[in-house]
Amino acid sequence: MPRQNREQNAPSAKEKVDALMNKLETGIQDFMQSGKYQEYLHTMSKFHNYSFRNCVLIAMQKPDATLVAGYSAWKEKFERQVGRGEKAIRILAPAPYEVTVDRVKKDDHGKTVYGADGKPVTETVKEKRLSFRSVSVFDVSQTDGKPLPEIAAELDGSVEDFELMLQAIRDTSDAPITIEKFSGSAKGYYDRTDHSIHIQEGMGEMQTVKTALHERAHSILHNDNVEDAAEKTRETKECEAESVAFVVCDHFGLDTGDYSFPYLASWSSGLDLPEIHASLETIQKTADNMISEIGARFAELKAERNASQTDSAVRSEKSETASAGHKPERSEKRSDRIGNTPYSEIPNKIYIRVDPAKTEALIKVLNQQKISFSGKLDPKKGDIITISAEHKPLVEKILSEGKALKDEFGESRYARCSAADVAALTKAGIPIQARKQADGSSIIKYNSADAETIKQTLSALNVARKKI
């Protein structure tokens, strides 16, 4: 088949993601109708469904809590024992009581009953009143005993070029990713307070990559700068993050269905998967962006590794030739590498794939603006340019306009802000340029001389929000 026809018949990026979403939905529904899922639901039904207030209290005292029950419940229902010295989580439990009161008697129609003397008849009755008392509960991580049924076993597969893949995920994440040992059963978590990602140490390669992508999706879709993040339920957030992770993993040849299908089934409220259907566009767009960014960086890392291996081989050959008394031949200079700064010296790296027709003009402007960059020429897939994240808005504008830009702000700085922050700064008359990002936040460009004014304006805005 001619190459042109093959390219025309090849599925688009959207069609590929749509196919993966169909695969995901089928896999979840099949699992939800399995015996293993029914066993899991039977066990979970024994756990109390806590009120929103108590969920907040639990999260405040033990943020990594997953399954919570009282001391006796753990012992009698689940055959598990709370460990000695474990600190209890204090929540509120209903404590109803009765009081005796006198009240006007009513008939069956709700009308007041009058006596022979014409006065309302009273009666003594008992009324139920509601109060609350403090009780102790414990998380499953604070207990030992009979294992609970696991809805999803941890992935234990290997990942080709694992270190490079993990580095590509790290390099393309604006939230720093740390692999460390922490308490609890969670495999990872995204901390909204400082916009950071934490992955449990000691897991298998596939589970580590899958978890990193899951938490990366949380950091994109559910950070404090995303306007509708606070309105989404926990179920919706988990379904969005895991669906994105599944699609991205599948694209890179990692089948995480054995984990993702059960995980999503446990968070979805029904066989028709309402949380996933309501977020289809968000999931598809986020997965597509992550695939592009991680794929570009992964390709660059592999190219750098291969170049390093080639250079090492050349140096070794030169050394052997020299030791044999022969004059080494001059190796050809690599022509696919570009840049004015070594890759390792560029902070907060991001990667932009550029149309080869625009690369030369972009390089000229970057050098004129004295912007550090590194990259690799790839005529087939598009050239890859590595820059610092703070320069992304300017580079995107250069590419869109196709010409050099005059910097109107003298010594410029960049920052990420919410839409409300941008509106407040504009209203205050502070000169800024804002570019909206996919996650709803904006990158603003401003004069360094206005830094203190911007800081004071946003500080005052945050104080006002807290008062509201």
Task: Give the torsion sign (CA, 122, 124, 127, 131).
Answer: positive
pLDDT in tens, 329-345: 444 444 467 788 877 77
- For the cut 50, the answer to whether the pLDDT of residue 195 exceeds it is yes
**Per-residue confidence at 205, pLDDT binned at 50, 70, 90?**
very high
Q: What is the CB-side half-sphere exposure of residue 392 using CA atoms within 13 A?
A: 22
Q: How far apart are CA 206 and CA 159, in angstroms?
A: 6
Tokens of 189: 């978590």
Neighbour-count burial of 355, counting CB atoms closer than 10 A to its CB (0-12 exposed, 13-18 middle, 19+ buried): exposed
Q: Which fold has domain 335-406?
A: Alpha-Beta Plaits (3.30.70)
Answer yes or no: is pLDDT of 212 > 90. Answer: yes
Whether 335-406 shares its CATH topology with 411-468 is answered: yes
Greatest mean pLDDT range, 47-56, 262-271, 368-377: 368-377
Confidence label for 455 from pLDDT (cuts 50, 70 and 90): confident
For residue 71, pLDDT beyond 90:
yes
As a whole-number percent, the residues of the chain with pLDDT over 90 amount to: 17
User: Is residue 207 very low, low, confident or very high in pLDDT (cuts 50, 70, 90)?
Assistant: very high
The answer on pLDDT for 316 being more than 70 is no
Predicted local distance difference test score (pLDDT) of residue 92: 87
> Where on the phi/psi map is residue 243: left (φ > 0), alpha (ψ -120 to 50), or beta?
alpha
From CA 62, how far away is CA 56, in angstroms rounded? 10
Q: Quick one: how far is CA 273 from the chain centroid?
A: 20
pLDDT, tens only, 125-160: 888 888 888 899 999 889 999 888 666 678 888 999
Domain covering 411-468, topology: Alpha-Beta Plaits (3.30.70)
Looking at residues 6-11, what average pLDDT do you find?
54
| Contact call for residues 414 and 443 (beta carbons, < 8 A) | yes
For 114-126, what is each residue's pLDDT tens digit?
888 888 888 888 8
Q: Which residue has the higher pLDDT, 166 or 19?
A: 166
Boundaries of every domain in the chain: 14-49+152-293, 71-105+112-145, 335-406, 411-468
Average per-residue pLDDT for the chain: 78
Mean pLDDT (whole number) for 363-373: 80
Nearest to residue 411, comparing CAs of 443, 438, 448? Answer: 448
> How far apart, in whole angstroms, are the C-alpha atoms of residue 268 and residue 404?
50
Q: How far apart are CA 147 and CA 134, in angstroms?
A: 29
Quick one: which H or E segment has residue 55? helix 52-61
